[in-house]
């Protein structure tokens, strides 16, 4: 069984291996020991903290195989972004150049540097090891976060975003960044990506063009990847789109990848979820449907994918003893759950 739990300092080696496997362009997990240890420490603090409104908390989870005890994936949630460090995007907009006398009307695409997403919550740091990419593992590693956020709404913003990895090749070359590098930065994409990942963002404000960029001035290769995702990121984008996430024209300032957003209350898995006390019964549970299930705790949070049978008369949810043990719950404790297939 795969169980999701809060990360611990003892998971450092596994997290480092995941960071290495994730490769260039995965900004939230740079291969940097000090930063990775700090991420774990900040997450441990966040899970212990009493919170009545979202601030700078950062929650990092791992997926563990209960048989081998191997950590096979990670995903995270930032309660807010941009409150301590500026959170940059380009917004894709338009300007009109027109002359009534000459009967000329041209609409031109532009990219404008902005901080519009300051204060929103972000789902981030989702990566599943190659050897665990089977069944519903990937979906569980993503979707349990919506249940956690809904259950603990005071910890998060109503708006939730996800930055999607943009187009780059196996060497980490980004067509979008190549144009920026040539004209403004004199720094390759892997270096810029790494510096951002370790929190060194001063160079962005110092070197980034302050005025809107006319898209038509970019190279054809750079224009072609604006708002496009990396080949390996397409499944993650499709999953979020199925949940109701949409793009409002914001893209990453390094690789041009899209940022998508949704209102927490409107995310399909959150909407479809229920909270009920449990009964433990193997046979009854087997009659149910496969669900994403979380306990309602924070510090001792757990999530699994398992069968749940709902008794509508008693208004209780039946789960197996194995699932109850994995979730750290006993009879009559509450769980929040949502079916893996929403009609």
Give the catalytic positions in this structure.
230
Residues near 312 by beta carbon (within 8 Å), at least 6 away in sequence: none
List, in sequence order, the alpha helices (H) in 83-198.
137-151, 175-180, 189-197
Contact 290, 297 (CB under 8 A): no
Beta bridge partners of 270: none
- Give, as one character, the DSSP assignment of residue 206: H
**Dihedral sign for Cα atoms in the order 35, 38, 44, 47:** negative
Distance CA 79, CA 42 (A): 12
Tell me which residue of 89, 110, 107, 90 sits closest to 98, measured CA to CA. 107
Q: What share of the chain is helix, strand, coil (3-state, %, to 5)?
A: 35, 30, 35
Tell me which residue of 152, 177, 149 sits closest to 161, measured CA to CA. 149
């Amino acid at each position: 069984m795969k169980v999701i739990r809060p990360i611990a300092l003892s998971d450092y080696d596994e997290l480092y291996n995941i960071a290495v496997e994730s490769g260039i362009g995965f900004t939230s997990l740079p291969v940097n020991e000090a930063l990775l240890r700090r991420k774990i420490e900040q997450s441990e603090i966040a899970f212990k903290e009493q919170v009545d409104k979202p601030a700078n908390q950062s929650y990092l989870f791992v997926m563990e195989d209960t048989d081998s005890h191997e950590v096979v994936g990670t995903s995270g949630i930032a309660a807010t972004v941009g409150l301590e460090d500026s959170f940059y995007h380009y917004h894709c907009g338009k300007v009109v150049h027109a002359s009534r006398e000459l009967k000329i009307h041209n609409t031109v695409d532009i990219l404008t540097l902005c901080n519009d997403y300051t204060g929103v919550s972000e789902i981030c740091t989702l990566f599943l090891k190659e050897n665990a990419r089977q069944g519903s593992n990937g979906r569980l590693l993503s979707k349990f976060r919506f249940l956690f956020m809904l259950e603990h709404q005071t910890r998060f913003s109503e708006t939730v975003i996800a930055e999607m990895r943009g187009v780059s090749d196996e060497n980490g070359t980004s067509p979008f960044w190549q144009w920026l590098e040539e004209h403004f930065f004199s720094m390759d994409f892997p270096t810029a990506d790494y510096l951002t990942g370790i929190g060194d963002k001063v160079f962005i404000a110092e070197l980034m063009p302050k005025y809107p960029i006319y898209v038509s001035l970019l190279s054809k290769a750079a224009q072609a990847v604006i708002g496009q995702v990396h080949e390996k990121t397409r499944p993650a984008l499709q999953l979020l789109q199925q949940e109701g996430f949409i793009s409002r024209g914001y893209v990453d300032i390094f690789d041009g990848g899209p940022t998508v957003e949704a209102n927490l209350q409107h995310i399909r898995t959150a909407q479809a979820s229920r909270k009920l006390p449990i009964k433990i019964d193997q046979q009854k549970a087997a009659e149910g449907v496969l669900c994403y299930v979380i306990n309602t705790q924070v510090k001792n949070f757990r999530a699994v994918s398992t069968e749940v049978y709902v008794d509508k008369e008693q208004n209780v949810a039946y789960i197996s003893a194995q699932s109850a043990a994995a979730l750290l719950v006993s009879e009559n404790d509450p769980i929040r759950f949502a079916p893996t297939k929403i009609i």
